[in-house]
Amino acid sequence: MLLKINGMARSKYYYNIKRIGAPDGYDEVRQRIRKIYCKHHRRYGYRRITMALNAEGMQINHKTVQKLMKEMGLYGLQKKRRYNSFHGRVGDVAPNVIDRQFKTDAPLRKWTTDVSQVCIHDKTIYLSPILDMYNGEIITYTISRNPNLELIMKMLKKGLKMYPDTPGLIMHSDQGWHYQHPMYQRVLKEHGIVQSMSRKGTCLDNAIMENFFGLMKTELLYSQEWDTIEQFERALRAYIKYYNNERIKLRLNGMSPVQYRAQHQIKI
């Protein structure tokens, strides 16, 4: 009577009853998904996990991976906002040479930098990296307890010591006071580096650097509770190494920044 009221045939009813609890053939896929998800500390969503599975020879559609992850309650970490170093006009402001043209066909053509703040309990550290827009690789970085000029100059000098011959290189940043400072600008000019700055209050003008900071905070800072700032600093150094060498990027065809550079046989 109930089947008749719902307009369902007896054969369809018994067919669906038999399917309940039956294996769907994705047990091995689920195991691999969970292993990759845990290996990368919840940093991979369904797109990167799909790429990782494909790289292992397991060809599967990203929609299927998304569905399985949802069923298992596995979700990638979400981004939060970042620190802003703009303190007003203290020196010369450079034009926006990059103008959101982040793509480049070779390394050492376009670099970007910024400062990010991390607070653990009552202590704070500041991270100042240089990122190559070619492959998103972190060229070098400095960490300090104070967002002073030394933090920026030390980072810049480390990068230029590693790669002293960089004709035509563009260094992009926001309008933070560090980058307006005459000392910083003088070093850029001495090395023939073209300075570029985002427009005031326009974070999308430096979206590639914003993206890295967002990933770092989502995948590292907010992923667990930290006892001390020293503990986090050690983890941060390890994360940057992981980010450069292991963490795959969708725009790099499922390779890490270092893998992508090596695949294209470009040495820096």
Residue 180 inside a domain? The answer is yes
Q: What is the CATH number of the domain that holds 192?
A: 3.30.420.10
Residue 268 inside a domain? The answer is no
Q: How many domains does the chain have?
A: 2
Give the predicted TM-score (pTM) of the model: 0.71
Question: Do 62 and 177 fall into the same domain?
Answer: no
Parallel, antiparallel or unpaired: strands 110-113 and 170-173: parallel
**Domain extent at residue 20:** 2-72
Residue 88 inside a domain? The answer is no
Q: How far apart are CA 206 and CA 97, in angstroms?
A: 12
* pLDDT in 10s for each residue of the chain, 268 residues: 777 777 778 776 666 666 555 566 788 888 888 888 888 877 788 888 898 998 888 888 888 998 888 888 887 765 544 554 545 555 689 999 999 999 999 999 999 999 999 999 889 999 999 999 999 999 999 999 999 999 999 999 999 999 998 888 999 999 999 999 999 999 999 999 999 999 987 889 999 999 999 999 999 999 889 999 999 999 999 999 999 999 999 999 999 999 999 987 765 5
**Cβ contact 185:126 at 8 Å:** no
